[in-house]
């Protein structure tokens, strides 16, 4: 089976009302449970905002460390799921379900061969 990364993109600086967030979280938990039940779920996680990031850059034979996101932008990676699926169409269907639950864009990308699959 091929593994796929389902990346959740969130708007930077956006604030969701508590009631809307509660509904989204309930819907995401339902999709996660469906992934578990279907045997496609491998791993998933949510991320702190980009302000919590530390970037390490190689520079002149050393590594420079800076606080903050790698790139400033209107969107950032807010979380992800790793699934295993028979084919891209199946992975895209899981991506559709996750997009519906999160109300956010989801990027579906296959892992290169040679991993621990």
In tens, the pLDDT along 23-50 reads 999 999 999 999 999 999 999 999 999 9
| Within-domain flag for 87 | yes
| Within-domain flag for 12 | yes
| Within-domain flag for 71 | yes
Owning domain of residue 60? 2-110
| Within-domain flag for 117 | no
What CATH number did the domain enclosing 56 receive? 3.30.70.1060
Q: How far from chain centre, in Å, is Cα 35?
A: 15
User: How many beta carbons lie within 10 A of that of residue 19, not counting itself?
Assistant: 8
Residue 58 confidence (pLDDT):
97
| Within-domain flag for 75 | yes
Please give the tally of structural domains in the chain.
1
Q: With a cut of 50, which residues of the chain have pLDDT below it?
A: 117
Residue 77 confidence (pLDDT):
95
């Amino acid at each position: 089976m091929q593994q796929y990364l389902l990346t959740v993109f969130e708007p930077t600086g956006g604030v969701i009302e508590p009631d809307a967030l509660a509904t989204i979280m309930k819907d995401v938990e339902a999709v996660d449970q469906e992934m578990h039940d279907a045997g496609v779920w491998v791993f998933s996680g949510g991320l702190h905002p980009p302000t919590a990031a530390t970037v390490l850059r190689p520079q002149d034979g050393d590594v420079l460390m800076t606080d903050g996101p790698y790139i400033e932008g209107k969107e950032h990676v807010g979380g992800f799921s790793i699934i295993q699926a028979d084919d891209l169409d199946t992975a895209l269907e899981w991506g559709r379900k996750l997009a519906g639950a999160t109300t956010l864009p989801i990027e579906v990308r296959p892992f290169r061969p040679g991993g621990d699959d």
